[in-house]
Amino acid sequence: MATRNYLFAQTDSDPALTRLIATAASATGFMKGAPGGVLPGWHQLGQDNSAFLATLYQRLEANYPHAGQPFYAMRLWTGLIWQPCYLSVIGAHLHGGVPGIGPVSQAMRNIYVDGYRLQPGPQYRDEIAPMIAKAGADLRGFADALLLEINTVTKLKRVPALRMLGDHIIGLMKRLRHYQPGISVEDQQRFCALWLDAMGLKDAGRLAVIDLPDGRPFAIMEAKGCCLDYLAMPGTYCDCCPRQNDAVRLARQTASAVAEMEMDEG
């Protein structure tokens, strides 16, 4: 059987996918994608992924023996949703076209999910609001299917999982200032609300705004979810973690924001 050569475009979808993959790699500096179908041992919704999930779970358990089942289950979830979230947001906001995210295949690298493949296909192109609506609905469909799949291997509660999905998008809306320099905090908040609405996650958290010591506004995450990393690393909380006292959380986020702005300007 002849294999397809993705170096040569055969349809309009081929160069569009190549551009999306290149844009994701350039914007983030760490996303590793390629065109093509699922490879042996990779994860893809719709196939039997029980061995993939069990192997990743066992590796997490071996690396963090005292963290416990809730941590391992949450790591399966966050590991498998982060790349679809990035691709959806980058597609809508930077690339100008959103791919069908359902067939994405993803690789396991030790205890992480890192690396993806997509086959060429039509990308939805429109104004930003309709693209967010389409991509958000697709992403929620992906997440719902993934949640069912993970629960065939280990218990993962729906509400905490969906809150973490919302937090991933809120975090990406916070990072839009890096991908689109000059964007206003009002636009960051507006886009964030559109994404959460499209995913049916209006109550999952929000993008709040603080005033820095020099008076500039800065968008921060007001999260409702928890990644449970503190179970593996006791006493370690993300600066936006809702398990902290609000005053402590805001102080940490303000310090992080000041450091981030100083780094940008340095």
Task: Specify whether the CB–CB gap between 166 and 192 falls below 8 A.
Answer: no
237 within some domain: yes
Under the banding of pLDDT at 50, 70 and 90, the label for residue 12 is low
Sign of the CA dihedral with 142 first, then 143, 149, and 153 last: positive
Name residues whose C-beta falls within 8 Å of residue 23's C-beta, 6 or more positions apart in sequence: 90, 94, 95
3 within some domain: no
What's the domain count of the chain?
A: 1
Predicted confidence at residue 11, as pLDDT, reads 52
pTM above threshold 0.85: yes
- Residue 108, CA distances (Å) to 56, 61, 250 in order: 8, 15, 35
Minimum mean pLDDT range among 20-24, 146-150, 200-204: 200-204
Task: Kindly report, residue by residue over 36-63, the tens digit of the pLDDT.
Answer: 999 999 999 999 999 999 999 999 999 9
23 within some domain: yes
Mean pLDDT over each residue of the chain, to the nearest integer: 93
Range of the domain at 233: 13-265
* Distance separating alpha carbons of residues 110 and 125, to the nearest angstrom: 36
Best CA proximity match to 156, nearest among 210, 239, 260, 80: 80
DSSP state of 95: I
Q: What is the mean pLDDT of residues 133-162?
A: 98
* Distance separating alpha carbons of residues 114 and 112, to the nearest angstrom: 6
At residue 203, φ and ψ (nearest 5 deg) are -100, 15
203 within some domain: yes
159 within some domain: yes
Task: Kindly report, residue by residue over 235-250, the tens digit of the pLDDT.
Answer: 889 999 999 999 999 9
107 within some domain: yes
Q: What is the mean pLDDT of residues 173-192?
A: 96
Task: Kindly report, residue by residue over 95-129, the tens digit of the pLDDT.
Answer: 999 999 999 999 999 999 999 999 999 999 999 99
- Reported in sequence order, the residue ranges of the chain that DSSP labels E, i.e. its strands, are 33-35, 43-44, 105-109, 112-118, 205-211, 217-223
* Distance separating alpha carbons of residues 160 and 265, to the nearest angstrom: 37
5 within some domain: no
At residue 166, what is the residue type? G
2 within some domain: no
Predicted confidence at residue 265, as pLDDT, reads 81
Cα atoms in the Cβ-side hemisphere of radius 13 Å centred on 173: 30
Percent of the chain whose predicted confidence (pLDDT) is above 70: 95
Question: SS3 for 226?
Answer: coil
